Amino acid sequence: MYAGADLLYYRLHQVDFNGQSSDSEIIPVHLSASSQSFQLIHAGFDNGNDLSGSFTLGGTGQVEVVCYDLNGRLVSRTQIQGIKGVNQFSSPSQGNLAKGVYTVQLVYNEQAVAAKVPKAH
C-alpha cells in the first residue's frame, strides 16, 4: 500500500499455455479513508499464552481482536474501545497453547486486518 494514496490502478497480464498473452482493462481502486487509517503494528504472545499487541486507528470505535489456531479453532476473542492513534490490546487465551503459528485478526468498521503470529514457548 502506498502511503497517502487515495486511488490505485491495476491490470492483469495473462499468459496462455501456447505463449500468447493478453492484458485486462485497467481497473481503478478507490481507497476509503478508514482503510488507510486502520493498521496492525505488532502482535505476539507474552506471559506464555496471552496475546498482546498494538494497532493504529484514524478514528474511534469498537475493535474486535480474534485469535485462531491454524485449524481455524477460536483461541481468544476480545472487544476493545479504540481511540484515534495508537492502541494496545491484550487478549488472554482459553487455556494452555501449543507451540506453533496462530492467526490474529482485528475487525473495525467492517474491515479486517490479519497477521500470522508464532508462539515459540
Side chain identity, residue 67? C
Q: Cα(104)–Cα(5) distance, rounded to whole angstroms?
A: 26
| C-alpha torsion sign, points 30, 36, 37, 42 | positive
pLDDT tens per residue, range 48-97: 778 889 998 888 999 999 999 888 888 889 999 999 999 999 887 766 78
- Report in angstroms the alpha-carbon separations of 79 from 13, 19, 27, 38, 91: 42, 52, 36, 16, 9
pTM score above 0.95: no
- pLDDT at residue 3, rounded to an integer: 52
Q: Which three cell numbers stand for residue 27?
A: 481497473
pLDDT tens per residue, range 13-52: 888 899 999 998 888 876 655 444 778 888 888 767 788 8
Domains of the chain with bracketed CATH: 38-119 (2.60.40.2550)
